[in-house]
Amino acid sequence: MRLVWRASCLSIGMAICGNAAAADYLVRDRDAFPAAVARAKAGDTIRLADGEWKDFSILFEGAGRPGKPITLTAQTKGKVLLTGASSLRLAGTHLVVSGLIFRDGHAPGDEVISFRRDSRHVATHSRITELVVDRYNQKDRRREDRWVSLYGADNRVDHSWFAGKGNAGVTLAVIRPKGQSQANRHRIDHNYFGPRPPLGSNGGETIRIGTSEESLSDSASIVEENIFDRCDGEVEIVSIKSGANIIRNNLILQSQGSIVLRHGNGNLVERNVFLGKGKPHTGGVRVINARQTVRDNYMEGLAGTDFASALAIMNGVPGSAINRYHPVSQALVARNSFIDVARITLGAGADAERTAPPTESRLQDNIVTGANGDAPFAVEAGMKGIAFANNATSATVPDTLPAGFSQRPVMLRRAANGLLYPTNPALAKLGAPRDLKPVSMADVGPVWYEKLVSDVAFGSGRQIAVEGEGLVAAVARAKDGDVLRLPAGRHAIDAPLSITAALTFSGPRDAEIIFSAATLFALGEGGRLRIEGLTIRGDRAPGQPGNAVVRSSGHSTIANYAVEMEGSYFSGLNGAPDFDLIATTAATFADHISLDRVTVSGLSGKILAAAAETGGKGLYAAERISITNSRFDQIGSLADIVRGGTDESTFGPELVVRGNEVMQSGPALLTLSGVQSTLIEKNSFRQGGAIAIAHSVGAPVTRIVANRLIATPEPKITRLYPQGRPQVTMADNISGEKL
């Protein structure tokens, strides 16, 4: 057995140490690990030797004692890498695991780190600290797993690093199995929850505590002093589904979504700092259920509206089922600063089902200012059940709000802690307290692991002049951020160009790519594509259906991709049926797809085919889509976009179609189903086909404004479900046979 035993008191000899001394085992290979675990006693330490451990399923089981835990750690913190299908299970009591990195792999089962061996052996009084789980994703983004599952009670997760979860499933969950309603008292603190890109469906929460089934009992867990940095997975950043939890002193940075008190009663959200910096869909706190307290929080620059408002107090369902919406009662919202926020929504979600407004609640001593001086208040239900007192706002207060808001100028000055406070002494006791101290990056995660920076931007790399080597060779050596500059002349391409980095293809208009494969640009993992100023011709593509200029991967990719086309010319895309400009596939997801000043002459398929997702889980193809200032002549269709399902967990898809000219399309000009936000503005459609928009649940917004519809039918808007509150604007459109 290659197990090295070292006494911590080696200098006085092993024999003398006897049972009293803590042992320190260095384990050099997998086979030696179980013996070390079996031998370890309270106070002992097991170290994994530095290096890579592949496909290592760690079962760490033992009985430590208070103040004398059994510790599993790295020989050197940050030098032990768990890869492949590695995982960690803890079972027993008073166990500590530290210093390990999970990277370049994925969970072998449903969990990377689990505080249990199996359903009968959980961990209590145990801790993971200074662990890293870095982009440890399943190969298929739809495959669901969790990075950390907290079972048992009195466990702690601290100073750890979790970022880049790209597949479905909550990042860290407190699991409260059915029939096990006892308090958990877990503590989740000083962690770095780094970027989690939009998932494009439900299941992208960063933290969830409980599920609806056991939500009427208390978990009494604490989430404090963490940083949530760009946690954009879905509408819930933290989803509370149990009682008596405390969420305090966290910093939520530019994260789309909210802290949602989804199920369970008596939770406390206090002293958190939210900084949205105007990023869309950045939210604050959403209140549902009884006895929730939201106090002493600071929110600035939150651009979220509706459910993702800085404060959303929801309407409930009378006699609600456990998994729907219990009415708000006895809520206290006090001494919060809502600075430059887009929205405060009261009675949010009121509809035919959610008819019960808040009762016995108080909203007092808050400060509210609106973004861009706009009025942030939206009141969607009766407010008799909320007592408003001593709140100050510089914004217009709607008549639907009772007294309790004084409207007055609110001058603000930034204090030493970086936050804004009113200069007027009369307002000194309102809003968030002066002694807030936003958590700093240095306070969270392990000090030895760097925080994650943003995606590489288009054009941030080298400029590569495509000369004698040819385009294929240039693409092969290009790296993230590089720009491939094509010279004038013809570039014949006979096999798909595989794109696995953020690449820009740039040229003068007389640089012409003519391709003879079924796809010109094939996006793979990490691929992001920008085309500017080029001419692309498809005349030589195969005479079979289903060609595309750009196609997302046929296999699931984890990183969200992007496609940008600007000032480019496309032709000859009609020699075969169903020839698309951009074809998306199921199980890939685009952060954005944008076309600006693009000209397409002759295309038999769709400019954007984004309807490959067919399941009911609310999956869709792209978060933000914009088609602007472009000209399309004889095309099959502009776009076909589908988001299926009925849940309310995503912000997208969002579509902007503005300033385009379409001359002659097939029978379907634009087909949208389940799109959350649609703007069709200032277009000219001549001899176009049907514009069919089907609304799903939630609060979809559709605006069709100032278009010219020439020999083109009027848009048709329908509803797929009776729930939801679609907002439709159709104005200033002109239609006729000739204009």
Residues that bind Ca ion (CB under 5 A): 202, 236, 649
Give the per-residue SS3 of 188-228: EECCEECCECCCCCCCCCCEEECCHHHCCCECCCEEECCEE
CB of 237 to Ca ion, least distance (A): 10
Tell me the C-alpha to C-alpha distance, in Å, between residue 582 and each of 518, 564, 593, 729: 12, 11, 9, 29
Q: How far is the C-alpha of 657 from the C-alpha of 634, rounded, in Å?
A: 18
CB of 553 to Ca ion, least distance (A): 26
Q: Which is nearer to Ca ion, 211 or 671 (CB)?
A: 211
Q: Which is nearer to Ca ion, 130 or 236 (CB)?
A: 236
User: Which residue carries 């998306």 as its tokens?
Assistant: 584
User: Which residue carries 């992001």 as its tokens?
Assistant: 528
Q: Which is nearer to Ca ion, 617 or 631 (CB)?
A: 617
CB of 205 to Ca ion, least distance (A): 5
DSSP code, position 75? S
Q: Which is nearer to Ca ion, 202 or 594 (CB)?
A: 202
Q: Which is nearer to Ca ion, 233 or 276 (CB)?
A: 233
Say if residues 286 and 240 touch (Cβ distance below 8 Å): no
Q: Which is nearer to Ca ion, 202 or 245 (CB)?
A: 202
CB of 342 to Ca ion, least distance (A): 22
Q: Which is nearer to Ca ion, 236 or 613 (CB)?
A: 236
Q: Which is nearer to Ca ion, 402 or 616 (CB)?
A: 616
Between strands 23-27 and 3-7, the pairing is antiparallel
Q: How many CA atoms lie within 13 A of 104 on its CB side?
A: 10
CB of 262 to Ca ion, least distance (A): 8
Q: Which is nearer to Ca ion, 150 or 363 (CB)?
A: 150
Q: How far is the C-alpha of 216 from the C-alpha of 518, rounded, in Å?
A: 56
Pick from 234, 235, 172, 142: which is nearest to 197 by CA? 234
Q: Which is nearer to Ca ion, 173 or 611 (CB)?
A: 173
CB of 299 to Ca ion, least distance (A): 21
Q: Which is nearer to Ca ion, 236 or 455 (CB)?
A: 236
CB of 667 to Ca ion, least distance (A): 37
Joined together, the tokens standing for residue 429 give 């006791």
Q: Which is nearer to Ca ion, 164 or 169 (CB)?
A: 169
The residues near 441 (Cβ < 8 Å, ≥ 6 apart) are: 192, 227, 451
The residues near 178 (Cβ < 8 Å, ≥ 6 apart) are: 213, 214
CB of 152 to Ca ion, least distance (A): 24
CB of 238 to Ca ion, least distance (A): 11
Q: Which is nearer to Ca ion, 638 or 699 (CB)?
A: 699
Say if residues 122 and 93 touch (Cβ distance below 8 Å): no
Q: Which is nearer to Ca ion, 202 or 504 (CB)?
A: 202
Pick from 636, 633, 634, 683: which is nearest to 656 by CA? 683
- 653 upstream amide cis, omega within 30 of 0: yes
Q: Which is nearer to Ca ion, 185 or 263 (CB)?
A: 263
CB of 202 to Ca ion, least distance (A): 5
Q: How far is the C-alpha of 330 from the C-alpha of 219, rounded, in Å?
A: 20
Residues in the chain: 739
CB of 260 to Ca ion, least distance (A): 8
CB of 648 to Ca ion, least distance (A): 9
At 636, phi and psi to the nearest 5? -70, -55
User: Which residue carries 């096990």 as its tokens?
Assistant: 180
Q: Which is nearer to Ca ion, 236 or 566 (CB)?
A: 236
CA-based radius of gyration for the chain:
28
CB of 170 to Ca ion, least distance (A): 8
Report CA 214 to chain centroid distance, whole Å.
Answer: 26
Say if residues 394 and 422 touch (Cβ distance below 8 Å): no
Say if residues 551 and 578 touch (Cβ distance below 8 Å): no
Joined together, the tokens standing for residue 652 give 């997208």
Say if residues 239 and 209 touch (Cβ distance below 8 Å): yes
Pick from 251, 185, 178: which is nearest to 216 by CA? 178
Between strands 497-499 and 251-253, the pairing is unpaired
Q: How far is the C-alpha of 303 from the C-alpha of 313, rounded, in Å?
A: 17
Say if residues 95 and 69 touch (Cβ distance below 8 Å): yes
Per DSSP, the three-state class of 506 is: strand
DSSP string for residues in 693-721: EEE-SS--EEEEES-EEES-PPPEEEESS
Joined together, the tokens standing for residue 245 give 């939890």
CB of 649 to Ca ion, least distance (A): 4
CB of 234 to Ca ion, least distance (A): 5
CB of 235 to Ca ion, least distance (A): 6
Q: Which is nearer to Ca ion, 44 or 236 (CB)?
A: 236
Q: H or E stretch including 475?
A: helix 470-477
Q: How far is the C-alpha of 414 from the C-alpha of 425, rounded, in Å?
A: 15
DSSP string for residues in 308-346: GSSEEEEPB-TT--TTS-PPPBS-EEES-EEEEES-EEE
CB of 247 to Ca ion, least distance (A): 16
